[in-house]
Amino acid sequence: MNREKLITVTGAGGFIGGHLVRRLLADGHTAIRAVDIKPLAEWYQRLPQVENLSLDLRDKDNCYQACKNAGWVFNLACDMGGMGFIETSKAACMLSVLINTHLLMAARDCAVQRFFYASTACVYNAAKQNVPGVAALKESDVYPAMPEDGYGWEKLFSERMCRHFSEDFGLEIRIARFHNVYGPHGTWDGGREKAPAAICRKVILAKLDGRHEIEIWGDGEQTRSFMFIDDGVEGTLRLMHSAVAEPLNIGSDTLCSVNQLVDIVEEIAGIRLERTYIADAPQGVRGRNSDNTLIRERLGWAPGVPLEVGMEKTYRWIHDEIVRSRGPGAAK
């Protein structure tokens, strides 16, 4: 990709999008359009070197504005969050289909060269994720279709739409199925945060407030693989530069229970907490892991940042954010 050719990143005020814009700048790209629905002041990362636009991409005309003169489009825009949000906001998640529909139409009509779609491991068949010691999910495990209700169905439908825009109109498509991306500069409270950020917040607050206790959703034995943001961005760029047209897992293949994740954060914090389990809280599938056979075959690479390393960076950032929000004298 010519570093002077315009690249559009949607969802740029969010977590992955903000990190992607920063990486593109570091790689020497000089023409970047960053788009997000949030007001500019609310973006997690807003970089003055790029064109920053606050646009609601559910609106078709805004999608044409976002895609105008762009060579590549990275679509990371959607209405989503952690399991607490996904399980209680299914209609809101489904409405994100408008974003991908209108962006694909705009990309086709604006002669975009390559279009990236950020999908999710939530597209996988739930029947293959019903035990903690789950077999790692291959890309082919998405069918027969039984994805996460709401969010997963929208993502799977949008994957199919991308495929058909490629078949019918020749639009070059790249699709990543992200597995539980975490790291600094993302949501850590308010109900949309995911497990790594939520656990960091709970442990930090317990330590700051002198309460040696923590609430855990479910029994803590549910498992996931967690991928640090740097690996997510690296995988995204490698996929975009590749000739891989089919959906590809981008995720860690290290399986970890929620209880083990709490262990890691407690070790970082230097504290041990009494655990209370909330049986009726949203939990999602019982187990989920990424099979990285195909990404190693096709890209010669796979995510590799150790969970302990990524979680320490995440913990330190969230700790500083909490202390800053509390004002002077909050740190202990």
Query: Tens digit of pLDDT for each residue in 145-155?
Result: 999 999 999 99
**Residue 26, Cβ neighbours under 10 Å: how many?**
8
CA pair distance 250, 227, nearest whole angstrom: 8
Query: Tens digit of pLDDT for each residue in 159-203?
Result: 999 999 999 999 999 999 999 999 999 999 998 899 999 999 999
- One-letter amino acid identity for 315? Y
Query: Where do the H-state alpha helices sit in 244-306?
Result: 258-269, 293-299
For domain 7-182+227-250, give its CATH number from 3.40.50.720, 3.40.718.10, 3.30.470.20, 3.20.20.80.
Answer: 3.40.50.720
| Section 54-71 average pLDDT | 98
Burial 253-270 (b: 16+ CB within 10 A, else e): bebbbbbebbebbbebbe
In the prediction, which pLDDT does 84 show?
A: 82
Burial of 141 (0-12, 13-18, 19+ CB in 10 A): middle
Domain ranges of the chain: 7-182+227-250
Q: Give percent above pLDDT 90 in the chain.
A: 91
CA pair distance 37, 122, nearest whole angstrom: 23
| Section 313-330 average pLDDT | 90
Q: 66 is written with which tokens?
A: 């976002």
Between vectors from CA 224 to CA 174 and to CA 259, what angle results, nearest 5°? 155
DSSP H or E run through 316: helix 307-326
Query: Tens digit of pLDDT for each residue in 202-218?
Result: 999 999 999 999 999 99
Hey, which residues are catalytic here? 151
pLDDT at 330 over 70: no
Query: Tens digit of pLDDT for each residue in 244-296?
Result: 999 999 999 999 999 999 999 999 999 999 999 999 988 889 999 999 999 99
- 207-212 long-range contacts, Cβ below 8 Å, gap at least 24? 207/269, 207/271, 207/332, 208/322, 208/323, 208/326, 208/330, 208/331, 208/332, 212/271, 212/272, 212/273, 212/274
> Do 170 and 279 contact (CB within 8 A), yes or no?
no
In the prediction, which pLDDT does 331 show?
A: 59
84's CB contacts (< 8 A; 6+ apart) are: 191, 192, 217, 281, 282
Burial 289-322 (b: 16+ CB within 10 A, else e): bbbbebbeeebebbbebebeebbbbbbebbbebb
- One-letter amino acid identity for 136? A
> Do 53 and 66 contact (CB within 8 A), yes or no?
yes
In the prediction, which pLDDT does 80 show?
A: 84
> Do 149 and 195 contact (CB within 8 A), yes or no?
no
Burial of 21 (0-12, 13-18, 19+ CB in 10 A): buried
